[in-house]
Amino acid sequence: MIPARENFALLPAWTPPLMYALALLAAACFLAGCLRLARRIDLREAWRIAPGSSREKMARLLTYGLLQRRIASRFNGLLHAALVAGFVLLLLATTLVFVDQDLLRPFGRRLLTGNIYAAFSLGANAAGLLVVVAGGALLAWVVAREKPADERVRRNLTTTLGALLVLGVTGFALEAVRLALRPTGAEPWRFAGAWLADPLRGHVTAKLYTALWWSHAVLAFGFIAALPYTALSHVLATPLNIALAPPEPAGALSKPFDLAALMASGQFDVKPGIARAADLTAADRAALLACTSCGRCEEVCPSALSGASLSPRILVRELRDRLNGRAQEDLLATPLASQAWACNTCGGCAAVCPAHVRPYELAVGIRRALLAEGRADGRQAQMLAGLERAGNPYGMPAADRESLSDLLGAPTLAQAGQAEWLYWVGCAGVYDARVRRVVEATAGLLRRAGVKFAVTGAEVACCGEAARRMGEEGRFQMLALDNLVALEQYGVRRIVTHCPHCYNTLRNEYAQLGGRLDVVHHTELLAELAEQRKLPRSMDGERVTLHDGCSLGRLNGIYEAPRWALHSAGARLVEMPRSRRTALCCGGGGGAYWYDVERSVPPARLRVEEAVAMGAGIIATECPFCLKMLGDAAAESVKVLDVAELLAGVD
Amino acid sequence: MNFTVLTYAERADFTLELIAAASSMGSSVHVVALALDEADAAKFSVGGAHVVLRVAAHREVTGPADAAAVLAAAVKQLQPNAVLIDSSRNGVEAAARLAQRLGAPCATGCLSVAFGSAGGVLIERRCYGGGFVARQALSGSPVVIAVQPHRYEPLAIGKPCEVRELVVDLGAQEVRTLSVRRVEHGSRQIEKAEAIVAVGRGLRGPEDLRMVQALAGRLDAEVAGSRPVTDDLRWLPGDVKVGLSGHTVKPKLYVACGISGQIEHIVGMRAARTVVAINKDPAAPIHAEADYSIVGDLYQVLPALTALLSR
Amino acid sequence: MPDPLFVVCFKMCVDVAVLRPHPDTGEPDLARAPLRISDFDERAIEEAVRLREKHGGRVVGVSAVTSDPPRELLLKALAMGLDAVRLVTIAPSDHPGSAAAALAEAIHALGEPALILCGEGSVDGYNGQTGPRLAELLVMPCVTYAGRIEIGCGQLEADRMLEDRAEAVTCALPAVVTVGGEINTPRLPSVLQLMAAGRKPVETVCGVATATGVVTLDVTAPSTSRKRIRIDGAQPAEAAISLLHYLARDGEVAV
């Protein structure tokens, strides 16, 4: 006997019509739900504004959606990936049954017969087993090991996984009963069903089979119908967002308006930012609906870790909860308004999010709305007023920028005309005595290596990075446009800066305003000079740990240059547990350096403790703000120095 | 040439300072002091005034509008060359209103006052946020000068002088006082503090704050901290943080103990009138931002200061 | 009080936070320091806008200027919520009464204000005379150094923040009120709001002849803005004694 798939075997004659009716109903519910989801997102718009070509989107979908590359990076994620793999296979199997039964058989042809049927049986059994085992393990994990972020998440997880488990178990049960009642000859391939069937033989009836079959079918159709309406909607929404949004946090924040265009039109009535859920863009909505509240963001967020009021997971959920019905509610009157200020825009959340959500963009969106109403706290207002009046966050005289030229013995931009390199010293480099030492060290190394450079004087003002992150987009663009004009006027070609914040903004954000600047970080240039053996060997095996600055590391992927520079100078590098992509923010990012965030412990303190635990005597920084934050928090047992200072042999 | 100078202050001790200021303006100054009651009149009479005018009005003299009315009546009677008023908040309002009524020039917040050779009055006053001192010449008869308190030492007690009565018709009171609340020392916020003792990383532990508080108590000052002490070490609450991410303060006296003087701290205290720095690191930037700096160990200097101030 | 008219007097003066002495002369290097709206006057604007938000009406800003003020400062005042600005040009004068005279003239022309607000003093001169002088010129009650204002039924209630006490006072409207630093935190208009404020009206009129009788002879920074006197080398006790000696001389401590 050639084994072949017997469809509707052992079932009453009324089964097929009823099943098809149910199937149609479930499909209708499912489709309606999908449409609802698409409408809530405004899918067409979301697709249009999403970055990258369709091919890139598909590649992301395959890698991160289907193959679960990021989700599977930890044990429970691996179980999730197994579950998904099982379901995808079962979906394939069901499709084959559909082809066999409803497309081929009316023409007298079969697909699921012979070897194909054997393979099908084996695959389906294995997939089913995968679902049951992975689902069960995941459920056990959730119940026993994991601390789901809150009760709501736990309930969703346990009911969904429980129902899935029931679905899998009934599937095997009914197969076992069927095989017990009527062997097919494909038993070797249906190993799990056959193994269960053996002890049942003679104890089960066709009635039981019918009952089991129907409970399984109703549950399965129920799943399909309910999928877009429940926590399972992430099965649709999350892969969609994965296709739409790149996985890494972006160095450039989104641009809510174009100041130059507004100035040309004379119309300034735009309301940037997220004051109500209705203000969310299609891309934001796709991201919100993709979130599964898994809480990975909370585990890495400097705000959540330091006891600040912000949790990226809650931020996303609060916004998501308002997408339906409460879209007009004034968000600025809710705790979100103050929580948004706790964000360091460090990108840590986005770097781990399996759904490719960027919660920090949402926090900035709320800040933008607050600032559009002139609602800045005293300290934020003071910083922004300093930018407005003096072009630097300190509110110090703009003319002081000229002073570095003498200190460094290098011409200013205006004096140099054209130079090979422009050293962009940034505001802290001018006004902060501590950071000025970094500038001196960097300039000394460059001079020693024979690099000709000019320094920025009063021709330029603040790059606007912090203003943008604090939500004052207009001030950012104003500063950026003026700076771009100045850089253009002096024909600047290449810029080097010791500040990752300036680096990121000049490189990635000025590009949004038409800037085409070739910017390198000082550690990149120093690493290159070290390679050419133009730098001294300043260290002798000191244990140094590098604190990756968010703007350089996570946001721009520069991890090796500072390490190579330190290594060539003779340092013995030790890595903190959180390094490179997972480095913890010092707490100064996102403009927070300039104001106060209420926390139970500063992130800088956590970071210093982490470094001390590694036995490092020196924390090397690559960012003036990390340097300041960690320097303030460091105990006397550990020194905090910029990479350039270490290379220059500064003690 | 003989000059007549009229003095008025709400507080008797300030009038005594003004009498001293008036006497110092030139060699032959005829000083007339306004007194609101008998006790004050007696004090001024032996405090160096040549004549004391005891104000007699149908109701109590309260507030700057009344003060301006009293002064206008006295000016009418005496035709003085200058009117000196204390540069308190009420004094400044009274001075400005009197000057406007008389069509007279007026200077407030004066650090010193003297008659010039050409007959006008020369004054010095702080301007541009306190970082500069302007010298001005005022001409007119009279000129109205509000003198900063504590600039002149009251004169030694002398012989009593003539006390006359000045009858003033005050007219209706336009601004009525409903209640007065003393500003309590404890609830004073750091931004309003007149004196601040601030600590930084030079402090070894939170238990040593007591030493700082002792000095602050002697100076009638508030205790404040720099960012490392408030945010990172949490030895002091965040609401006493001075600096970029904390409060901007403008006390008359700011004593920075063990504070290195990072820019984010400096921007919070640069409006202070007088800055004292105590830091054992001679290279600490705070020394360049101070009027007086002691390169020394705060654990020795602070107790020494406290002990001296307790005497 | 249907549609009350609030008038705010504000001064655009040098930003003293960035003002430095000229390295050669020791005089304030005014050419290198930008202008700003005087700190207390920003608070007066904020308070007037809040009163309008509560009671309706209009807020008009009035400023005495000696030359064309920077446009961004006018935009800022308007973006903070002023409905219109009226500039009065006057000849430069060191007499604190000249601005008051010009402002009074301009306010007369505006109609009948319910309340006139200004800062307790300007950040550059800090004379504290403009408000009281205005009250005399306009024959109105004057409340200085207000830390809180409420209006209603033709009456004003305010807290006057004095050195050692807060006085709750009341008077009839119209009145002149000067506001101090405690009264509010002025809002910071965004760049978009600044640009949108360009549509609001700004009118310039010529002011009256100015008062005379005050001449500034010189303005100097006492060598550096900080004295930078080092007391070192001595024993702690000796250092403490000389420090207190200096402080007593400056009048910062009473010994």
The answer to whether the CB atoms of C17 and A378 lie below 8 A apart is: no
Closest chain A CA to residue C19: A397
How far is the CA of C181 from the CAs of B178, B269, C22, in angstroms?
22, 16, 29
Question: For residue A238, what are its two tokens?
Answer: 């999350």
Shortest distance between the Cα of B233 and any Cα of chain C, in A, equals: 27
Number of H helices, E strands in chain C: 6, 13
B164 touching C (Cβ < 8 Å): no
A117 touching B (Cβ < 8 Å): no
**Greatest alpha-carbon span in chain C:** 71
| Neighbors of chain A with 3 or more C-beta pairs under 8 Å | B, C
Shortest distance between the Cα of B101 and any Cα of chain C, in A, equals: 7
The answer to whether the CB atoms of C232 and B295 lie below 8 A apart is: yes
Distance (Å, whole) CA B21 – CA B166: 23
pLDDT tens digit at each of 311 positions of chain B: 589 999 999 999 999 999 999 999 988 899 999 999 999 999 999 999 999 999 999 999 989 999 999 999 999 999 999 999 999 999 999 999 999 999 999 999 999 999 988 778 999 998 887 678 899 999 988 999 999 887 888 998 889 999 999 999 998 899 999 999 886 544 357 877 889 999 998 888 888 999 999 999 889 899 999 888 887 777 888 778 888 667 778 899 999 999 988 777 887 888 888 999 999 887 788 988 899 999 888 898 999 999 988 87
B100 touching C (Cβ < 8 Å): yes
Phi, psi dihedrals of residue C33, rounded to the nearest 5°? -110, 135
The answer to whether the CB atoms of C232 and B294 lie below 8 A apart is: yes
8 A C-beta contact, residue C210 and residue C69: no
Distance (Å, whole) CA B70 – CA A251: 69
8 A C-beta contact, residue A372 and residue A473: no
Q: Identify the contact set of chain A against chain C, taking CB-CB distances under 8 A.
A: 257, 259, 262-263, 268-270, 272, 371-372, 374-376, 378, 381, 384-385, 388-390, 395-399, 472-475, 477-478
Q: How confident is the model at residue A28 (pLDDT cuts 50, 70, 90)?
A: very high
8 A C-beta contact, residue A215 and residue A170: yes
Q: How confident is the model at residue A593 (pLDDT cuts 50, 70, 90)?
A: very high
The answer to whether the CB atoms of A434 and B262 lie below 8 A apart is: yes
Report how far Cα A190 is from the mean position of its chain's Cα atoms: 42
Element (H, E) at A647: helix A643-647
Distance (Å, whole) CA A183 – CA A197: 9
Instruction: Using CB atoms, pick whichever of B227, B245, B285 lies closest to residue A379.
Output: B245
Residue among A473, A502, A498 nearest A487 (CA)? A502
8 A C-beta contact, residue B174 and residue C173: no
Select from B128, B135, B298 the residue whose CB has the most chain C CBs within 10 Å, as the one to mutate to test that interface. B128
pLDDT at B187: 37
pLDDT at A129: 93
Sequence-separated (6 or more) residues with CB below 8 Å from residue A634: A608, A619, A640
Closest chain B CA to residue A382: B244
Average predicted confidence (pLDDT) for chain A: 92
pLDDT at B270: 82
Residue by residue, DSSP assigns A321-339 as HTSSS-TTS-GGGSTHHHH
Which residue in the block uniquely carries the two structure tokens 């004057």?
Answer: C142
For residue C210, the 8-state DSSP code is: P
Instruction: Average the pLDDT over A326-346 and give the result.
Output: 94
Question: For residue B138, what are its two tokens?
Answer: 């005022």
pLDDT at C163: 77
The answer to whether the CB atoms of C228 and B291 lie below 8 A apart is: yes
* The most confident of A4-8, A109-113, B198-202, C143-147, by mean pLDDT: C143-147
Q: How confident is the model at residue A113 (pLDDT cuts 50, 70, 90)?
A: confident
The answer to whether the CB atoms of A372 and C17 lie below 8 A apart is: no
Instruction: Quick: pLDDT tens for B44-89.
Output: 999 999 999 999 999 999 899 999 999 999 999 999 999 999 999 9
Closest chain A CA to residue B263: A432
Closest chain B CA to residue A393: B244
8 A C-beta contact, residue C123 and residue C13: yes
Element (H, E) at A166: helix A151-181
Instruction: Using CB atoms, pick whichever of C18, C186, C192 lies closest to residue A372.
Output: C192
For residue C36, the chain A residues in CB contact (below 8 A) are: 389
Select from A270, A377, A389 the residue whose CB has the most chain C CBs within 10 Å, as the one to mutate to test that interface. A389
pTM of the model: 0.86
Q: How confident is the model at residue A148 (pLDDT cuts 50, 70, 90)?
A: low
The answer to whether the CB atoms of B92 and C128 lie below 8 A apart is: yes
Distance (Å, whole) CA A287 – CA A357: 5
Shortest distance between the Cα of A157 and any Cα of chain C, in A, equals: 44
Instruction: Quick: pLDDT tens for A472-522.
Output: 999 999 999 999 999 999 988 899 999 999 999 999 999 999 999 999 999
A593 touching B (Cβ < 8 Å): yes
Pairing between β-strand C5-9 and β-strand C175-179 as defined by DSSP bridges: unpaired
Instruction: Using CB atoms, pick whichever of C20, C185, C186 lies closest to residue A397.
Output: C20
- Ramachandran region of residue B302, left (φ > 0), alpha (ψ -120 to 50) or beta? alpha
- Per-position b or e across B121-133, b if 16+ CB within 10 A of its CB: bbbbbbbbbbbbb
Sequence-separated (6 or more) residues with CB below 8 Å from residue A444: A648
Which residues are C148's β-sheet partners? C159
pLDDT at A234 over 60: yes
The answer to whether the CB atoms of A383 and B227 lie below 8 A apart is: no
Instruction: Using CB atoms, pick whichever of C19, C20, C192 lies closest to residue A268.
Output: C192
Phi, psi dihedrals of residue A590, rounded to the nearest 5°? 70, 20
Instruction: Quick: pLDDT tens for A596-648.
Output: 888 999 999 999 999 999 999 999 999 999 999 998 888 677 999 999 999 99
8 A C-beta contact, residue C245 and residue C253: no
Instruction: Quick: pLDDT tens for A551-579.
Output: 999 999 999 999 999 999 999 999 999 99
